């Protein structure tokens, strides 16, 4: 469906033209004075200069003609000093637009993506290290970007891009050697098959890594051994590859469970290790073409450009000790992705501290022609989630907070709120608090601008009032309950299977018919908000700004609240009017549900 703003602008452009002015002056925006009008056009002011007339004369001229040309579209068209054209949409026109949304695919959102492939690289967990809150934002934001893109008809490919090739592997191998020296992986004379069974469980692994990591900070010798083991693993040493496969297997299972609890899924579970086969060829190619050169023993590619505000260091693609680097593996990954998907766009979502890394990787990829010049490469940089002290979020004891513990804390806080004043049995309350807790966490994150730091405030996030996830869910649940009561009343009035009921059934359980023109200011505001839905989804995706979607559903929920407080919906005596209300609030619910689905959470049945 066309956006409502575009429909109004089309009309406005035609009117400017028929008054003898260029159509381009007919731009229309949402009003910045909702007390005066709903939409406005400021084109007369700009046209005044070009046509040497007074703006108000042009505005009067256009307004008078617009009233004649589009009487069905507007309730009022007014020219006001110094030359604004203020518009109010007619109730019938707006109601018909909303009916179009109800009848349309995707509630009126058009598929603008045209099947273009976009790779979203998010999550970025490091294998064998527990998921911590630093990985939370990228997972939540990436999932939302992917869902929005798919909804708009892009072909989004989400890749977790695991950190699975680093020093943590060598640390685990050497720690394991010290703990269980008799394992066949450490017997150089062993020639048989390595065991199928992993030599550790996930809880053992979760214990091995932190122990090894702590040890490496005090024990130089141990650290050197771990580095050596990492190098051997990377060079393909079979026993260590076998351990590595066990580590991967055991951790992946756990990671999938953790991401699953966040309602985050990936199309690809690739990692840095998958890039390794491409690296020798990549280095050779860069060297042969003179793009890479030796500098202080390392191999580097210059990426600086004269327009840079400050000079950027070259990208190191091989260290002097020959070890693989983060940038090199990202370049290898690009080569693989080009071969397999040739995407039109890349979106990487990480912490903002990786800014320089991605500038370097993108520039090398373009300079070497590994990606086409027109391919868009975007790095979405996330701000940090801070504690109330303004520093990166920590546990009460000051350690790094594990994701599962954070989720548990939120769920418990929601559970307490539910139990405060609601009648729900324990089991249902626990189930609901998991659903609401996830909404609290995700909305708390997504309602902030991606690049900004924010404070993780459990009390605020879990509140059922204000700009929070639970408030949005509460609105949905409230509408569901009105709809259920209405359906119940229909059933008692017209017994199942009766001819009267069959006639009344519009296929969706509702009597067939339309949304009625607004009967109050509150109803009109609600309807105007709803009509912006397709515009908001498109903009939120284009600007990669989930917070716009959050802002929209917050305003929509508020508009519903005002409507609800001023309207007797179920007590309305005129049945046709009542059915109109029901259709309207059902559309509110559908739009809210569609938006929260894009944000990556769901609503419970009750709360």
How many other CB atoms are found less than 10 A from the CB of residue 382? 26
- Smallest separation (angstroms) from ligand ARG to the CB of 170: 16
- Smallest separation (angstroms) from ligand ARG to the CB of 132: 10
Q: What does the alpha-carbon distance between residue 416 and residue 460 come to, in Å, rounded to a whole number?
A: 14
Q: What does the alpha-carbon distance between residue 603 and residue 605 come to, in Å, rounded to a whole number?
A: 7
**Strands ordered across the beta sheet of 292-295:** 292-295, 298-301, 315-318
- Smallest separation (angstroms) from ligand ARG to the CB of 163: 3
Give whichever of 112 and 213 is closer to ligand ARG, judged by the CB atom.
Answer: 213
Give whichever of 83 and 124 is closer to ligand ARG, judged by the CB atom.
Answer: 124
- Smallest separation (angstroms) from ligand ARG to the CB of 330: 5
Q: What does the alpha-carbon distance between residue 490 and residue 211 come to, in Å, rounded to a whole number?
A: 65
Give whichever of 209 and 560 is closer to ligand ARG, judged by the CB atom.
Answer: 209
- Smallest separation (angstroms) from ligand ARG to the CB of 169: 13
- Smallest separation (angstroms) from ligand ARG to the CB of 333: 6
Give whichever of 122 and 486 is closer to ligand ARG, judged by the CB atom.
Answer: 122
Q: What does the alpha-carbon distance between residue 264 and residue 257 come to, in Å, rounded to a whole number?
A: 10
Hey, what are 4's tokens?
A: 């409502």
Phi (first) and psi of residue 144, to 5 degrees: -65, -45
Residue nearest to ligand ARG (CB): 124
Q: Are 342 and 330 in contact (CB under 8 A)?
A: no
Name beta bridge partners: 411.
none
- Smallest separation (angstroms) from ligand ARG to the CB of 456: 19
Give whichever of 92 and 336 is closer to ligand ARG, judged by the CB atom.
Answer: 336
Give whichever of 129 and 548 is closer to ligand ARG, judged by the CB atom.
Answer: 129
Give whichever of 121 and 175 is closer to ligand ARG, judged by the CB atom.
Answer: 121
- Smallest separation (angstroms) from ligand ARG to the CB of 354: 7
Give whichever of 211 and 325 is closer to ligand ARG, judged by the CB atom.
Answer: 325
What does the binding site for ligand ARG look like in residue numbers (CB under 6 A)?
Answer: 121, 124, 126, 161, 163, 330, 348, 350
Q: At a CB cut-off of 8 Å and minimum separation 6, what does 607 contact?
A: 418, 422, 432, 436, 464, 470, 473, 474, 477
Q: What is the dihedral of CA 444, 448, 450, 456, to 10 degrees?
A: -50
Q: What does the alpha-carbon distance between residue 30 and residue 162 come to, in Å, rounded to a whole number?
A: 44
Ordered alpha helix ranges (H), 110-194:
134-151, 167-179
Say which residue the tokens 């598929």 belong to. 111
Q: Are 56 and 96 in contact (CB under 8 A)?
A: no
Q: At a CB cut-off of 8 Å and minimum separation 6, what does 281 contact?
A: none
Q: What does the alpha-carbon distance between residue 136 and residue 446 come to, in Å, rounded to a whole number?
A: 11
């Amino acid at each position: 469906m066309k956006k409502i703003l575009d429909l109004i602008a089309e009309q406005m452009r035609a009117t400017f033209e028929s008054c003898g002015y260029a159509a381009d002056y007919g731009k229309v925006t949402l009003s910045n004075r909702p007390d005066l009008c709903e939409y406005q056009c400021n084109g007369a002011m700009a046209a005044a200069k070009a046509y040497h007339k007074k703006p108000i004369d042009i505005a009067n001229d256009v307004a008078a003609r617009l009233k004649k040309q589009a009487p069905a579209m507007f309730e009022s068209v007014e020219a006001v000093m110094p030359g604004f054209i203020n518009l109010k949409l007619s109730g019938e026109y707006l109601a018909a637009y909303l009916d179009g949304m109800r009848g349309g695919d995707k509630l009126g959102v058009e598929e603008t993506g045209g099947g273009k492939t976009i790779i979203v690289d998010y999550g970025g967990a490091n294998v064998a290290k527990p998921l911590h809150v630093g990985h939370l934002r990228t997972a939540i934001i990436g999932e939302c970007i992917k869902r929005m893109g798919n909804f708009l008809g892009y072909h989004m490919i989400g890749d977790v891009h695991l950190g699975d090739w680093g020093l943590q592997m060598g640390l685990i191998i050497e720690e394991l050697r010290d703990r269980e020296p008799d394992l066949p992986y450490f017997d150089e004379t062993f020639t048989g098959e390595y065991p199928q069974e992993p030599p550790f469980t996930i809880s053992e692994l979760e214990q091995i890594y932190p122990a090894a990591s702590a040890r490496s900070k005090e024990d130089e010798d141990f650290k050197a051994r771990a580095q050596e083991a990492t190098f051997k693993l990377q060079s393909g040493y079979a026993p260590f590859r076998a351990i590595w496969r066990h580590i991967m297997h055991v951790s992946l299972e756990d990671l999938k469970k953790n991401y699953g609890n966040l309602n985050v899924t990936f199309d690809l579970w690739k990692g840095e290790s998958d890039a390794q086969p491409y690296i020798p060829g990549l280095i050779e190619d860069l060297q042969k073409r003179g793009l890479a050169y030796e500098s202080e023993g390392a191999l580097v590619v210059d990426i600086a450009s004269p327009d840079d505000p400050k000079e950027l260091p070259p990208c190191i693609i091989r260290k002097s000790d020959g070890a693989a680097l983060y940038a090199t593996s990202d370049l290898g990954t690009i080569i693989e992705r080009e071969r397999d998907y040739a995407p039109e766009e890349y979106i990487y979502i990480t912490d903002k501290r990786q800014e320089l890394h991605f500038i370097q990787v993108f520039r090398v990829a373009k300079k070497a022609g590994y990606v086409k010049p027109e391919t868009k490469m975007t790095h979405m940089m996330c701000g940090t989630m801070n504690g109330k002290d303004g520093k990166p979020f920590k546990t009460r004891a000051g350690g790094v907070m594990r994701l599962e513990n954070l989720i548990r804390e939120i769920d418990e806080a929601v559970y307490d709120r539910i139990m405060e004043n609601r009648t729900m049995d324990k089991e249902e309350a626990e189930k609901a608090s998991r659903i609401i807790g996830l909404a609290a966490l995700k909305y708390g994150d997504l309602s902030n601008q991606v690049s900004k730091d924010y404070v993780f405030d459990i009390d605020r996030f879990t509140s059922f009032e204000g700009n929070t996830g639970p408030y949005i869910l509460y609105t949905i649940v409230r509408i569901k309950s009105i709809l259920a009561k209405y359906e119940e009343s229909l059933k008692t009035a017209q017994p199942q299977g009766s001819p009267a009921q069959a006639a009344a059934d519009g296929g969706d359980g509702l009597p067939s018919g339309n949304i009625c023109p607004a009967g109050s200011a509150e109803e009109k505001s609600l309807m105007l908000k709803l009509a912006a839905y397709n515009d908001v989804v498109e903009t939120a995706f284009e600007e990669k700004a989930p917070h716009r979607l959050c802002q929209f559903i917050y305003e929509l929920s508020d508009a519903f609240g005002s409507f609800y407080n001023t309207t007797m919906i179920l007590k309305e005596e005129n049945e046709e009017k009542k059915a109109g209300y029901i259709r309207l609030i059902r559309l509110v619910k559908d739009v809210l549900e569609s938006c929260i689905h894009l944000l990556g959470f769901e609503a419970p049945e009750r709360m």
